[in-house]
Amino acid sequence: MAGNFACAEGAILAGCRFYGGYPITPSSEIAEHMSRRMPQIGGHYVQMEDEIASIAAILGASNAGLKSMTATSGPGFSLMMENIGLGIITETPCVIVDVQRGGPSTGLPTLIGQGDMMQVRWGSHGDYEVIAYAPNSVQEMFDLTIKAFNMAERYRMPVFVVADQVVAHMTDRLIIPPPDEIEVFERIRAPRDNPVPFSFVDDFPPMSVAGDGHRVNVDSLTHDERGYPSMSQQVSRKMLEHLVGKVRKHSEEIVEVEHYLTEDADAIVVAYGSTSRSALRAVKEARHAGEKVGLLRLVTPWPFPAKEIEQIGSRARAIVVPEINYGQMEHSVREYASCPVIGIHHAAGSLIPPEDIYSVLERL
């Protein structure tokens, strides 16, 4: 199966029953597949007039009780940023798939890029934290989409799948477990007499859903625990500490990385998405040549795996960060690594050849 179709099927098995989107290369196959599949399972597919409307639609559907999703790419992702902030402040669970392509602006619509990594984390204004997964295979397009839905429902927040054109369009073997073996987190709905639908004490407050008989205000303004707007700095502090804290306090259970021969490595490659496939090939070649190198793959670029970088940075002579951009995740690696960090910057349009990574490892 192709990666985009695997993503759509993972969403369906996770319980997605509303898709609101606008076609944009290289994510369009997700919308196309959902347009067929949603009616078959009693779900709803709506093609909106643009990406701004798409993100608004899935937030509305989620507040009406449905697990919801959209997919986009660079320019469309930029348009979604304001309403992503709305989803964060209203603690509305949903999944946003960003299939990265070359940029900036219209850029290279049909070719790979990894230039949205910082936008995922910092694109909307204000203080907040995000959860983002970076798949590197068709299987992970399926598995991590399900995980994104589970985390969105548990943490009551928008969660991102930050894919790229290569992994979205590659075709590979996909193993789909029996449905009863797939872990699916169902939304915890609040009782009708719930006085604080936005509890700032509970990390994961139950959600009041429109149509369940609740009287609840869902507002984009800074609000108190009842959902009513407030101009108080004290209320702002409580709300922001809750929004930021529910991710930071649980970062160790959210963060996922994959180690490959890092225990004795003198040089370690830190990579994510499709680039990690080239990095793995380069590391294997270097090991075959007798060099002590390893790979740390970021399954969750956000929250950033600071402790893992600190640990490998304390024992390695150097860290190499290959990216199809001009040094986005390299900034975060430098912040936490105590050893030299070498970036490999590759212009959008193609995968980084393993040889480019190997040549840097060889010089080290």
What are the residue ranges of helices labelled H in the chain? 3-14, 28-40, 51-63, 74-89, 117-122, 138-155, 165-169, 233-248, 251-254, 275-288, 306-315, 328-336, 354-363
Instruction: Check residue 149 and give its pLDDT.
Output: 98
Instruction: Check residue 176 and give its pLDDT.
Output: 96
CB 88 within 8 A of CB 123: no
| Domain locations along the chain | 3-181, 257-363
SS3 of 202, please? Answer: coil
Nearest to 150 by CA among 105, 109, 100, 94: 94
Bridge partner residues of 69 (DSSP): 19, 95
Distance of CA 43 to the CA centre of its chain: 23
| pLDDT tens per residue, range 129-164 | 999 999 999 999 999 999 999 999 999 999 999 999
Instruction: Check residue 215 and give its pLDDT.
Output: 82
DSSP assigned state of 136: -
Question: The whole model's pTM is what?
Answer: 0.97
CB 112 within 8 A of CB 164: yes
SS3 of 231, please? Answer: coil
pLDDT < 50 stretches in the chain = none
Instruction: Check residue 27 and give its pLDDT.
Output: 98
Instruction: Check residue 6 and give its pLDDT.
Output: 98
Axis crossing angle, helix 74-89 with helix 233-248, rounded to the nearest 10: 120
Task: Report the CATH number of the 3-181 domain.
Answer: 3.40.50.970
Instruction: Check residue 245 and give its pLDDT.
Output: 97
Please state which CATH class domain 257-363 belongs to.
Answer: alpha beta
> Distance between CA 27 and CA 70 in Å, rounded?
10
| pLDDT tens per residue, range 103-118 | 999 999 999 999 999 9
Instruction: Check residue 356 and give its pLDDT.
Output: 98
